Amino acid sequence: MQLTITAIDGIPEVRPGDDLPGLILSGCEATDVRLEPGDILVVTQKIVSKAEGAIVDLDQVEPSAFAIDYANRWGKDPRQVEVVLRESVRVVRMDKGVLITETRHGLVCANSGVDASNVPGGHIVTLLPKDPDASAARLRQAIQDRAGVDVPVIISDSFGRTWRNGIINVAVGISGLQALIDYRGQDDPYGYRMSATVIAIADELASAAELAMGKVEARPVALIKGYPYTPAPGTAHELVIDPERDMFR
């Protein structure tokens, strides 16, 4: 198998209401890459949130006494702490200046996915899209309507990992491909019957795409060619562990 991952150039600063499918297709043209059947688009959450208006001006936020107290203890912006709390349905852990929360999407992550990086203005933060799977589906459909090619879409975001240092990109929204590959019940080359191996392929593709996009290069979209994915409606909810199996709940 040979994969190629190309970061898409030429995408300007995205603002609320912008035509994101059009910007992506223009970027593909500027990068001289052609969308073809079998390709996969990986799009960072940040530009999806910006286009959808999922942003908050911290100057318009009145922090609660709880947010102020926590922020003062750990040198945080109380307004941003307030936004994080508002975007959460459950606080999993608050300690050492780190807020681990569960979002309304069921995602467990730092700061409810609220992020101030790669956002102009100094007092603006982005939120996760209201429904990242729906966002991926709309983007996929718009690109198919305009380019005539049905290309699966993964919306990615940077998450930390339990037991591991560093962050990686994972899939928070999916449309058009299988999120997981289940090897349970199959034999490996040595005849061992696998009983627990389920690969989060959408996360692996999102992480691989980040190697080309980078964090500070202003390339928020990547095109993956050569991966033999399984077409499926796809949903990022498949990647969220069931509560009864969540050892950290």
Q: Containing H/E element for 29?
A: helix 20-31
**In a domain? residue 96:** yes
Of the three residues 106, 125, 144, the one that is the final residue of a domain is 125
Residues 120 and 195 in one domain: no
Count the domains in the chain.
2
pTM attached to this predicted model = 0.93
- All residue ranges of the chain with pLDDT < 70 are 118, 121, 248-249
141 neighbors 180 (Cβ within 8 angstroms)? no
pLDDT value, residue 137: 97
* Tens-digit pLDDT profile for residues 80-96: 999 999 999 999 998 88
Task: Check residue 81 and give its pLDDT.
Answer: 95
Same domain, 60 and 49: no
Contact 193, 215 (CB under 8 A): no
Asked if residue 187 and residue 150 are part of one domain, the reply reads yes
Shared domain for 10 and 103, answered yes or no, is no
Cα–Cα separations (whole angstroms), residue 145 to 88, 139, 148, 161: 35, 10, 6, 37
Identify whether 120 is part of a domain.
yes
Q: What pLDDT is attached to residue 139?
A: 97
